[in-house]
Amino acid sequence: MLEQLLVSARSNPHVDPIISVWGWEISVYLFLGGLTAGIMFFSALMMILKKDEQAPFAVNGLSLLGPVVLSMGMTTLFLDLSHPLFVWRFYTTFEPTSPMSYGAWILVLFYPVSILQVLSTFRSGYGLLASLVDGFPLVGTVLDWAERYRRAIAWLALPIAVGLGIYTGILLSAFSARPFWNTGLLGPLFLVSGLSTGAALTALIARRHSERRLFTLIDAGLIVVELIVVALLLVNLSTGAALQLEAAGKLLGGSYTVAFWGVFIALGLLLPLILEYFEIRGMARRLAILAPVLVLVGGYVLRVIAVDLGQETTWTHYTSEFNTQLLDRLR
């Protein structure tokens, strides 16, 4: 037998016995980040495709959710910082090798563009609100200006949306130290999932039936793609190195099986897919709202699994000789 024992009591918080530096804050942030990408993507796309008639909410109303949702995500991200007073340090440098640095700078692009997006559809999307502010000098001119360039703004938003979507996936997969994250498929998976949740949210809120149907259709397609990516990911893991196998094991028949198969795959992808099928076929209307809700839940659960399981896959497997809880007597 091989006994690998820590003979000096080591209990660095969030590092021992296994890395657990990131909790719900990061899962929520990644989820909302992906969702925002979807939101921005579709609001811009529909604008460019001139779908004003078929998808009025996506074109005029959706974009406002972008900055709102992302700001919620930024809040949880901030909550996660253990040295928060120095948060401004993200912006005193650009670190080309650090995805987080990209993440920080993408925001600088995101917010102005998404605000312009909102302005460019403010009157059409939120007429009541608009009428309140329209009176003010300047506001009117700004809105006029934004509306004139609404399509150009949309073209600007599109790549940013995609960038944001990819980033939320790359962030984790760039960690070579965490074999479960360190796969080329996590990025695409998060991107697709982000778009899917974006579509689902639109389908959920949109009033006009044609629009709901359109986004249900889009979401169904994205779910199919997502299922394929998941399959590839599993194949990739189970044919990988020892540590990836360990991770696969936790998914296929371990601590994460229920969350992964039960919640994410079954409830978060398959069931909504079926429901959406009926929706598209024009049946079972009353269940209509259920599908998008499930997609959103599934999207969040995916982030939770990824964040937690990733931290569990570690290179060092030491057991501690001592019951480190005893050290609480010092704290």
Residues forming the site for other proteins (CB under 8 A): 1-16, 19, 21-22, 80-84, 86-87, 89-90, 92-93, 95, 97-101, 103-104, 174-178, 241, 310-311, 314-316, 318-319, 321-324, 326-327, 329-331
Helix (H) or strand (E) holding 137, with range, is none
Q: Which two tokens stand for residue 109?
A: 């692009």
Coil/strand/helix, residue 320? strand
Report the nearest approach of other proteins to the CB of residue 70 (Å).
17
Nearest to 40 by CA among 205, 144, 156: 156
CA angle 303, 307, 240 (to 5 degrees): 105
Handedness of CA 141, 143, 145, 148 (dihedral sign): negative
**DSSP string covering 245-309:** HHHHHHHHHSTTHIIIIIIIIIIIIIHHHHHHHHHHTT--GGGTTHHHHHHHHHHHHHHHHHHHH
Nearest residue (CB) to other proteins, 110 versus 215: 110
Report the nearest approach of other proteins to the CB of residue 186 (Å).
14
Nearest residue (CB) to other proteins, 84 versus 282: 84
Report the nearest approach of other proteins to the CB of residue 188 (Å).
21
Nearest residue (CB) to other proteins, 29 versus 31: 29
Q: What are the φ and ψ backbone dihedral angles of 127, each rounded to 5 degrees?
A: -45, -45
**DSSP string covering 51-88:** -TTT-HIIIIIGGGHHHHHHHHHHHHHHHH-SSGGGGG
CA atoms of 95 and 303, how far apart (whole Å): 25
Report the nearest approach of other proteins to the CB of residue 239 (Å).
17
Nearest residue (CB) to other proteins, 90 versus 260: 90
Nearest residue (CB) to other proteins, 9 versus 235: 9
Nearest residue (CB) to other proteins, 143 versus 171: 171
Nearest to 165 by CA among 186, 191, 198: 191
Report the nearest approach of other proteins to the CB of residue 18 (Å).
8
Report the nearest approach of other proteins to the CB of residue 304 (Å).
16
Nearest residue (CB) to other proteins, 103 versus 169: 103
Report the nearest approach of other proteins to the CB of residue 78 (Å).
10
